[in-house]
Structures are given as C-alpha cells and as structure tokens.
C-alpha cells in the first residue's frame, strides 16, 4: 500500500535533509486515507480476492468520493479502469449462472423448490461485504463516523450506470481500452 501514489502535500519540505527529518516524525495517514488505499488496491487486484459484486461497488463508491483529492491522476484512472473490468467480469459470471440455472430449471421434474439450493443461495449472500463493513464501522465509530452499505439484489441498473460512466470518462480522457457491448 505504501507504493500507491498519493498527491504530494505542498507543506512537505523539498530538500533531502528536511524531508528525512519530516519522514522520521511522520505519523501514519488518517484512517480515511488508509481505507482509500485499501479500496483502491482491492479494485486493482480484484481477481486475487474473489470479492463480491457489492464489495467491488462499495470500494468504487468510496474511491469515487475520495480519490480525486488524494490520489495521483494516473493511479486514479487505473483504479477506475479496474472497476469497470471487475464489473464486466461479474456481469459475465452472472449471465453464465443464469444460463446454467435456466438449463437446470428446465430439467427438473418437480415444481417444488429445492431446499438444498435455497439453503446454498442464502449462505452465499455477500458475507465478506458485510464483514468488511462491520470492521470499517467499528474503526470509524471510534472516530465518530460510519459507512452505510446496503446490500440489495436489484441494484444492477446503478452498477451499470457507474460502469458506463467510467467507460465514458476513460474514452473522453483517452485512457482505458474497452470494447463496449452495451
């Protein structure tokens, strides 16, 4: 996380000696900045963490709100490009699951709901997102703040809007190479 490019504080000394003295007494960045860096890294390395779609969106929302003031423009662009890629991967995964579910639904001999499948669906709710939110809220409550995360199953339209907005921004500013199929 320390290698993530933050904007340079104009109050920091510029010569090496002053910078060394400043670094010796430098305290860690505030929690909101550390959280921004964590969210940015989660988006950039989303494939390694197997994050829920809701967690990807929560990280994006946090980055969108705070990145412009605190992250270098090139790094910020990379974060938002990776958000679009993560959401596209989720869309593809959900489409494949729908296709598989529709095939299995057609082959069922009974119209009664499958208790095992329903139990699996209930247990696969975005536990990581809720757990992450709980940890963040515990930390932030000590500082007088709280993050609101609502988990809804029918927020695909908002997700698509956010993804398309980032794709348009990337196209307008000349970064990111997306093949839009929307």
Tens-digit pLDDT profile for residues 131-161 = 566 656 665 666 566 555 544 444 667 888 8
Question: Residue 45's pLDDT is what?
Answer: 95
- The partner residues of 71 in beta bridges, in order of sequence, read 6
Question: Residue 163's pLDDT is what?
Answer: 77
- What helix, strand, coil percent values describe the chain, rounded to 5? 65, 0, 30
Q: Which of 2-16, 90-104, 164-178 has the highest mean pLDDT?
A: 90-104
Q: Band of the pLDDT at 169, cuts 50, 70, 90?
A: confident
Between CA 31 and CA 8 the distance in angstroms is 18
Query: Cα–chain-centroid distance for residue 77?
Result: 14
Question: Residue 152's pLDDT is what?
Answer: 46
**38-42, 51-55, 81-85, 112-116: which range is least confident on average?**
112-116
Between CA 33 and CA 6 the distance in angstroms is 9
For residue range 56-74, list pLDDT tens digits in order: 999 999 999 999 999 999 9
């Amino acid at each position: 996380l320390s290698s993530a490019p933050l904007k340079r504080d104009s109050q920091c000394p510029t010569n090496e000696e002053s910078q060394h003295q400043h670094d010796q007494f430098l305290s860690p960045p505030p929690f909101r900045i550390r959280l921004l860096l964590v969210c940015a890294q989660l988006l950039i390395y989303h494939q390694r963490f197997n994050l829920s779609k809701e967690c990807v969106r929560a990280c994006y929302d946090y980055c969108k709100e705070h990145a412009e003031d605190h992250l270098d423009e090139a790094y910020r662009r990379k974060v938002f490009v990776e958000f679009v890629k993560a959401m596209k991967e989720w869309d593809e995964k959900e489409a494949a699951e729908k296709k598989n579910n529709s095939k299995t639904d057609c082959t069922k001999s009974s119209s009664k709901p499958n208790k095992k499948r329903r139990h699996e669906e209930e247990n696969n709710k975005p536990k990581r997102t809720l757990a992450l939110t709980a940890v963040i809220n515990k930390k932030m409550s000590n500082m007088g703040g709280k993050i609101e995360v609502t988990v809804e199953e029918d927020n695909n339209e908002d997700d698509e809007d956010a993804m398309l907005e980032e794709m348009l921004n990337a196209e307008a500013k000349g970064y990111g190479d997306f093949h839009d199929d929307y």
